[in-house]
Amino acid sequence: DSARRLGARAAQLEALPEPLTQTEKTALQTAADQFADRARQSVIENIRVDAFGPKTLAAQMAVSEKTLGRRLKEARELSPAAFIRSVRLSFARDLILLEKLDSVSVVAHAGFSSARHFAKLYKSEFSETPSETFRALSSS
């Protein structure tokens, strides 16, 4: 129902004159998107905290865990734990691609407690291992 309303709202925005459309679209960069952006920033700021999870994120966002779950599901279609994992993995991939760190274990410890677990999650998220990403970078 929420997706249908947003779709209807987006269709209404497309029908508006161009100057209003951009303003409205910016405003429609919804509270959900803004919330997800703030949550992402909070995860990044706490990237080295192993115990950082949904409960801590909810506290930092000043919402209940249930509200956190609902809002992240609305904005990104992810549970809080999956959202945190996705942000951590994207951060790790950025470190590799920007050549900030030079080994899988160093990257893994910049947000994960186990290099093996990190590599498994990375492969499921990006369809390649962190080592393959490093190799592709060095061969280009």
Tens digit of each residue's pLDDT (9 = 90 or more) over 42-101: 999 998 888 899 999 999 999 999 999 999 999 999 999 999 999 999 998 888 888 777
Please calculate the CA angle 54-60-89 and round it to the nearest 5 degrees: 50
Burial class (CB in 10 A: 0-12, 13-18, 19+), 101: middle
Distances (CA, A) of 40 to 75, 80, 85: 12, 11, 11
* pTM listed for this prediction: 0.74
Question: Under the phi-then-psi rule, with left for phi > 0, alpha for psi from -120 to 50, and beta for the rest, what region is 124?
Answer: alpha
Rounded to the nearest integer, the mean pLDDT of the chain is 83
Token representation of residue 139:
């061969």
